[in-house]
């Protein structure tokens, strides 16, 4: 076998070896992404009742009405200020999403993102007025349900 032929075979084998290694890394990364996605989806299901209640509090539609005993630190966090913005007749949480969760037994730190739109008396959106926030909610399991005891909100 000629030297050129041996070099070509070695180069081909090295290329295949590198391609296999890269493919293995790719599969490992896909597995990690899948596990993280499943973990977050599991937390979204677990915290869905808390997020639904928070949405109704911020929309000012909570039934029963928000209270510190029932809702902890989320009590009174509606985003409706008619005394300051008379052209706004109702807020609406357009989306509220759990973006990460760090759960340790009966305590959790939840990263929550939301957007609130504001609407006028004719039902049209007041375009200039929107609230976008990312907050950390610290929650404890109490009587079988999660209750937020502290909200870390960004300044400004």
Set out the domains of the chain in order of their start, with CATH numbers: 3-152 (3.10.450)
Q: Comparing 21-25, 56-60, 75-79, which segment has the lowest mean pLDDT?
A: 75-79
pLDDT at 120 over 80: yes
Strands of 11-144, DSSP E: 90-104, 107-119, 125-142
Q: What mean pLDDT is predicted for residues 25-31?
A: 79
Q: What is the pLDDT of residue 117?
A: 84
- 87-111 confidence digits (pLDDT tens): 888 888 888 999 999 999 999 999 9
Mean pLDDT of the chain: 86
pTM higher than 0.75: no
Tell me the C-alpha distance between 139 and 72, whole Å. 9
């Amino acid at each position: 076998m000629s030297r050129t032929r041996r070099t070509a075979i070695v180069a081909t084998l090295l290329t295949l070896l590198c391609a296999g290694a890269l493919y293995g890394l790719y599969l490992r990364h896909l597995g990690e992404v899948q596990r993280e996605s499943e973990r977050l989806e599991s937390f979204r299901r677990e915290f869905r009742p808390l997020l639904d209640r928070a949405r109704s509090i911020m929309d000012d539609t909570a039934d029963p009405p928000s209270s510190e005993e029932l809702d902890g630190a989320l009590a009174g966090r509606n985003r409706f200020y008619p005394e300051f913005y008379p052209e706004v007749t109702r807020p609406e949480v357009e989306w509220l999403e759990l973006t990460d969760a760090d759960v340790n037994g009966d305590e959790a730190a939840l990263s929550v993102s939301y957007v609130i739109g504001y609407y006028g008396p004719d039902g049209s959106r007041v375009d200039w007025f929107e609230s976008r926030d990312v907050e950390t909610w610290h929650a404890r399991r109490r009587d079988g349900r999660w209750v937020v005891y502290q909200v870390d909100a960004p300044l400004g």
